[in-house]
Every structure is written in structure tokens, then in C-alpha cells.
Structure 1
Amino acid sequence: MAPRLISCFGKSGRASKGGKNDVAATADEAAEEQRRGGDGPVLVELFLSQGCKVSPEAELLLSRLGRGDFNLGQPIIVLSFHVDYWDYMGWKDPYGSSQWTVRQKAYVESLQLDTMFTPQIVVQGGSQCVGNEENKLLSNIANAPRFPSPNFQATIKRPTPETLEVAFTGQIRMKIDNQGANIMVALYENGLITDCPKGENKGMVLSNDFVVRRLEKLCSLKDTSAKKNITGTINFALWEPFISHKCGMALFVQQNSSHHIFGSQKFDIPQDL
């Protein structure tokens, strides 16, 4: 099925010559990591909206991917970002956020696309496809550069009913050069069910998994060795109701210039929080 297009942001600007050189350097690093035999997960991000007719099909594909329904022979981390630019169509996505729209726009620009659309899947920050194109998605995953998984320990506490405190310590296991990168941590929720009485999915019961509810930066890195010990704490503001056994966390390293992913790691949330 064809993607839904949006032109409210206009055509994305083409990358400058410097930007293209950044991407080429990143590709060289990715090839080097593949030669080293990086065995970490591949990060798959879905941008969708409950106000988009095609998105539920992509959401089902992502849920199956996250459950391990495909025999891929490699670990996968999936995250689902609900954008807000379809809210005017008659149904406001309860998980939609302008923050996720901005994140998708950054990918549209780095991948040199002409427009934003849903559903869109981005793999390792470096390739993309329409979110319901199963064969293309699996091909992108198979061909994605793989990196060593970060080696972090997470101490998770709930100091107040409204806050989740997570202290991290560990190594990224990937050298970061002078282009710099951010360590990001996503808090996501599974098993979300929504009755949709309006909009293009009117009358449907929508099921969403791996829905990113919070995304925070642990720290920024530059000229950092792979073995450098990194510590930091994130305080997530929680929503109501927060059901810990339905949630999980994903940590990933993302380069600033190209937005490529240089490693990711998944964490379970204790059920007794």
C-alpha cells in the first residue's frame, strides 16, 4: 500500500557537501565494525499515527518483529514513535507527540527524502522503508551494519509514584570520534489498546506495542574510547497508570551528524515497582 504523504514541512533540504562527507565517514566506520564482527542488536524505529489508515498494518508488523516471529538470526530492538501531524484528521492520537515528529523530520533530512510520511520504518538510523513493506524491512535489517552492544548496568528505582530513577554505569564498546554522539534512553510501553471512534480508523480497536512514552539523553560523547567507563542518572516523569510489567527500556548510541545508530541495549523493568 502507498505511504501517506505530508507536505506541511515542505521538501526537506538536501545535505550539504560536509553532511555527505559525514555520512561517508560513518559508512566507513560501519564497514570496519562489520569486519570486527559486531554482534549487537539492530535498532528498528517505526513512525506512525493512529490517525493514519495504513499505520495499524505497520504496527502489527512491528509487534511481530519485536516478539521474535521472524527467524532473523540476530537480536532486534524495536521502538514505536507516534507523530502528531495527522491529529487534525478527526482523531487525536493519545500517544502522539511533536517531539517524535521532530525526530522523524531529522531522519527525513539526513536520509535526503523529499517528504514526511507514515508509516515509516528507520533501521539503525541509516536506511528506511514504508512501514508495511515486510520484505524491504527484513532486507534492511539483514543488510544493516552491526556494532558491539553497549555494556551497561541499570539500577532502577521509583522514589515517588510520579518518577522512575535509573542509574547507569558501563561502556559503549564503540569508539566515538570528533563528530560526537549522544547516549539516549527510551522508556516504552506494550499492550496498549485504544477504541478509535473517529478519524480514518473509525470503529477499529487499535493495538500498540513498544510505544515510546519518554526519551531522554543520558550524556553526550566526543573523542571517547570504547572502554571509557560512563555513569549517569535519568529521572523519567511517569504517566498514569504506569504498569511496570508492561514497560521496558532501550539505550542506544546515536551519532550527531548522520543520526546513525552505533549500538543499542535493552533492559527489563522490575515488576514490583
Structure 2
Amino acid sequence: MRVITLILTASLLTSLSGISLAAELSCSARSGNTTVPLLELYTSEGCSSCPPADDWLSSLRQSGLVPNRVVPLALHVDYWNDLGWEDSYSQKTFTDRQYRLADLNRMRTVFTPQFVLNGRNLSRWHSRADSEIKRINATAPPARITLVLSHHARNIGITADAETLSQAAQTDLYLAVYENNLSHDIDAGENQNLTLHHEYVARQLIGPVPLKDNGKVHFVRDISLDKSWKASDMGVVAFVQNRNDGAVLQSLSLPLCR
């Protein structure tokens, strides 16, 4: 069961010129009795075969694959950037993560678009995703996550608690800040003259944060939003992953407090 609460707090700030009202929004979510898989899309605006995968990821909610069933995340890689179009959403961090997962999956190369479900390469994603997600949903979660967000002006406060009953010595917590409702007019490269639309775009990836010997971790961080990011379209993903084999044990998504 996914539980979300919304709390509105206000503090009065007094100055010589008068009184102003400062408000901070706080919301929280916790994972329940269902294992919710992480679905990663490795993509690039410079890749002509990527827009259909981007569009499919964007359509998950309409097809019933909502965040209490699967947590989507689009990570734009940077190895297309020298081939005609530089993807402004791309980061080397995302490329490094894709290469690491390729090693763990014993794959000889990386490619785009690539879907990775709970740390495992997902081929034939059009036909297999729904059944694979349903299978994972039916399993008991090996980890629990609680996520609390606070939002004031251009700052996000993140508090995350994760716990696993096993694999503590080899398990890490990750967090990703994502943004929805993005679009770009592409002026060069393989997708020249197209307007591409994106959802669940990773803006920042935090981790790994190792779980302690007791199988728990408490993580707190404040993040300043880039001036180009739209706070109304943002959220945070948290997931717990085995660093030795790449298996994701549990994931959780929470939109930024409104």
C-alpha cells in the first residue's frame, strides 16, 4: 500500500516593513507490501530509434502502469553527443550507470534505447513489460523505503529511510530527482526537425548510499533546483539496489509537494 500525506506549515516573519507569510509544503510516501520495480530507460535525443521508447515510457500511466506498480525513470546518456546533437538532459553519471549494469548483466556493449527492469535488461519491452511487472508485483518486498519531501521556493529537502532484512552488507540506497512535461525542438543529428517529448527525466542521481550493518540507512539532503527546472513537474525516486548483482529490491516515487 502506498501512503501519501500532505502537510502545510506556515511561519510568520516580522520585519520593519511589515509581516510576510512563508509557507513550506511537506509530503511523504512509504512502500507497502508489494514489490514495485524500477524501470530505467537509457535514451538520447541524438538517437533516431529512441523516440518510440520515450513515447512508450510516457504512456505508462495511461496503460495502467501507475507508480504503485512500476517506477519509471529516463536516464539520458552522453555518448551520442558528438554525433550531431548534444542532449542537454544527458550526464556522464547516467552513462557510467548503464555501463555498470551492462557488466552485471554480462552484456558486451551498451545501446539506446535500452530498458532495464529491476537491474535486468528487458528485451522485447513492448510485449514483455506488463507481464514482468505483474510477476514482480506479486512478490513480497525484500526492502522498505520511506520518503519525505519538503518544498520551499527553489529548494527541496529530502529525507529517506531504507531497510532490508537481508543483503545489508551489499545494498545501497539511491535517489533520483526527475522532471516531467519536457519537450525539445531538435535542430541537428538523427532527429533533426522533430519535436521530442519526455517524461520522468532524471535531473540528478544521488548515491550509492550504503546501508549499515543493521540493514538500515537514514539519509537527509537539501537540493537547490536549477532555474530551468519546473518545480510543478518534478518529483523524487528512491530505490534500494544490490551492488553485487544490480538487482533492485524496492522502489518508490513521490511527486514534489504541491
Q: With the length of structure 1 as denominator, give the TM-score of the two structures.
A: 0.74
Residues 116-142 of structure 1: CA distance to partner in whole angstroms, max 9, x if unpaired?
Answer: 100000001134226xx4003334334
Equivalent position of 2:41 in the other structure: 46
C-alpha deviation, 1:218, in angstroms:
7.2
Residues in 2 aligned to 1:144 and 1:153: alpha-carbon distance in whole angstroms: 21
Equivalent position of 1:185 in the other structure: 175
Unaligned runs of 5+ in 1: 1-36
2:119 is paired with a residue whose SS is coil
Residues in 1 aligned to 2:146 and 2:185: alpha-carbon distance in whole angstroms: 38
Alpha-carbon contact 1:177-1:224 (below 8 Å) kept? no
Which structure: greater strand fraction?
2
C-alpha deviation, 1:231, in angstroms:
2.5
Aligned residue among 208, 216, 223 for 1:236? 223
Unaligned runs of 5+ in 2: 1-31
In the TM superposition, 1:122-141 aligns within 5 A as: 122-129=116-123, 133-141=125-133
Equivalent position of 1:98 in the other structure: 92
C-alpha deviation, 1:238, in angstroms:
2.1
**Pairs aligned (count):** 225
C-alpha deviation, 1:58, in angstroms:
0.2
Change (3 A) 1:244 1:128: same
Aligned residue among 50, 74, 87 for 1:55? 50
Q: Does 1:252 align with 2:239?
A: yes
Structural RMSD (CA): 2.5
Equivalent position of 2:184 in the other structure: 194
Residues in 2 aligned to 1:224 and 1:147: alpha-carbon distance in whole angstroms: 20
Equivalent position of 1:64 in the other structure: 59
1:99 is paired with a residue whose SS is helix
Residues in 2 aligned to 1:107 and 1:71: alpha-carbon distance in whole angstroms: 24
Equivalent position of 1:119 in the other structure: 113
Alpha-carbon contact 1:180-1:223 (below 8 Å) kept? no
Alpha-carbon contact 1:184-1:215 (below 8 Å) kept? yes
Equivalent position of 1:267 in the other structure: 254
1:89 is paired with a residue whose SS is coil
C-alpha deviation, 1:179, in angstroms:
4.2
Residues in 2 aligned to 1:164 and 1:105: alpha-carbon distance in whole angstroms: 30
Residues in 1 aligned to 2:88 and 2:249: alpha-carbon distance in whole angstroms: 31
Q: Does 1:212 align with 2:202?
A: yes
Change (3 A) 1:157 1:58: same
Change (3 A) 1:73 1:91: closer
Give the AA of the match of 2:130: L
Equivalent position of 2:80 in the other structure: 86
C-alpha deviation, 1:177, in angstroms:
2.5
Q: With the length of structure 2 as denominator, give the TM-score of the two structures.
A: 0.78
Which structure: greater helix fraction?
1
Alpha-carbon contact 2:69-2:133 (below 8 Å) kept? no
Alpha-carbon contact 2:67-2:253 (below 8 Å) kept? no
C-alpha deviation, 1:38, in angstroms:
5.1
C-alpha deviation, 1:242, in angstroms:
2.7
C-alpha deviation, 1:89, in angstroms:
1.4
Give the AA of the match of 2:167: D
Give the AA of the match of 1:150: R
1:138 is paired with a residue whose SS is helix
Alpha-carbon contact 1:41-1:77 (below 8 Å) kept? yes
Residues 61-80 of structure 1: CA distance to partner in whole angstroms, max 9, x if unpaired?
Answer: 11111x24146997111000
C-alpha deviation, 1:155, in angstroms:
3.8
